[in-house]
Amino acid sequence: MPALDIPVKINRARLIPAAILAILVYGMIATVLGTLMPTLQVGDPLAGLTTEQKGTLAAISAIGLVISSLAIGPLIDLRGKKTSLVGGIFLITVALFLIPNSHTFVLLALMFFVLNLGGGMVVTGSNALASDVGEDKRGSTLNLLNLFFGLGGFITPFISSKFFNDSPVGLCYLVGAFCGATLLLEIFTPMPPPSGQVAFKVSDAARLIKRPALILLSALLFLYVACEVGVWNWLTSYLVSEGISKDTATQILAVGFALGLLFGRLIVSRILLKVSAIQVTLFSALAMAVTTYAVLQVHGAVAAGIVVFCAGLAMAPVFPTTLAMVGDAFPVGTASAMGIAITSGWLGLTFSSKIIGVIGDAHGLKTALLVLPAASVLMIVVNLMLRPLLKRHMA
């Protein structure tokens, strides 16, 4: 099968919108499960879906991301970034059109697996494509790219609350149509050809995974993703269980959390010019512990919205800043080190989703979501353990 890359002259300016729309697609689908959670609980024909089953859906979604993150690097090397983006967005589009027609739990779980299998392909492909714009613009371009993930996270719950309340069919079809349009753009955008050589080597991974600094950086992402995606997947359901309408709850997720992430990344891009990455992530972990606990204590939509926005601000720097620390600590084997750290992050989603689902069925979501501040406290411990190791690496 030939690679999908078109052998014509590359216009690097056209790569930017292609990468932005791809990461926007991922931001939109990353919030689909959390937005639909209350609907899946009461919807027909999926009435009676338990909290544990919803946790299983989130865990299966994470497994799709893990498999993608492990497999897509070599695929990009051999077949090109266009293969990754086109294949990923195609899988996403198909899954979105089939989710509303999945009348059994097994089929629904399969569709969420396919959705996130495609999502993992898009995340890696879009970041790799953005880096092709040029080394002199790489930092600013990747920072801009992450902002559009936050925008995608805002769009899905916002349009759900405004136009598709309690209707997974309309939401999935609209997002699916947008993905289909993006798929056409990716197909007709000329992209750099594949290198033809696999950069990721098992021997490199085996050597790196034994390094204490990478273990702790991976643990930091494991705990962080457990918290962030825990909010995406469970916040709406929790707020509804506390008596807030689904329409208001999804708006809190969109306007509060998603915009908190977006503005937080804008703000921290300036802060990092003067404050070290390890200090920023420590402050973020402290703020995450406070805000994720506070979300479970406040009452009313206004108070919840304010605290959720603050939680988004607190979480915003952690993922990109931790990846930057991985790059600084491992100038040799950077791609392999980042791949290990990102995969660890997706595993954090698998862990937290299942744990929250099981505890939620037994004791309620309010108790189950204490997993989030607990994970944030562990992030503080990991950060303090990491400091001397990073100083040694930098020296």
pLDDT of amino acid 18: 86
CB burial string 337-368: b at 16+ within 10 A, e below? bbbbbbbbbbbbbbbbbbbbbebbbeeebeeb
The string of DSSP codes covering 53-90 is: HHHHHHHHHHHHHHHHHHHHHHHHHHH-HHHHHHHHHH
85 with 126: CB under 8 angstroms? yes
pLDDT of amino acid 11: 59
Q: Provide CB contacts within 8 A for 47, sequence distance 6+.
A: none
Q: How many CB atoms lie within 10 A of CB 270?
A: 9
Nearest 5°: CA angle at 369, between 268 and 269? 5
State the 10-residue block means of pLDDT for the chain, 395 residues long. Answer: 46 76 89 70 52 79 84 72 89 91 85 91 78 54 71 83 73 90 89 65 64 89 90 87 86 85 81 83 95 93 94 89 78 68 82 82 88 95 90 64
372 with 227: CB under 8 angstroms? yes
pLDDT of amino acid 293: 96
CA-nearest of 5, 10, 119 to 61 is 119
**What is the token pair recorded at 278?**
């390890």
pLDDT of amino acid 303: 94
Instruction: Name the residue with tokens 């399969």.
Output: 110
pLDDT of amino acid 154: 82
pLDDT of amino acid 191: 81
154 with 258: CB under 8 angstroms? yes
First vs last C-alpha separation in the chain: 47
87 with 12: CB under 8 angstroms? no
Tens of pLDDT along 6-26? 444 565 667 778 888 999 999
Q: For the domain with range 201-395, which CATH number is right: 3.40.50.720, 1.20.1250.20, 3.90.650.10, 3.40.50.300?
A: 1.20.1250.20
* Residue 327: exposure state from Cβ atoms within 10 A (0-12, 13-18, ≥19): middle
CATH 1.20.1250.20-classified regions of the chain: 1-199, 201-395
Q: Provide CB contacts within 8 A for 225, sequence distance 6+.
A: 319, 345, 346, 348, 349, 352
Enter the CATH code of domain 1-199: 1.20.1250.20
* Preceding peptide of 45 cis, ω within 30°: yes
pLDDT of amino acid 2: 42
pTM across the whole model: 0.76
Give the C-alpha separation, 326 to 246, whole Å: 39
pLDDT of amino acid 44: 45
pLDDT of amino acid 304: 93
Q: Provide CB contacts within 8 A for 71, sequence distance 6+.
A: none
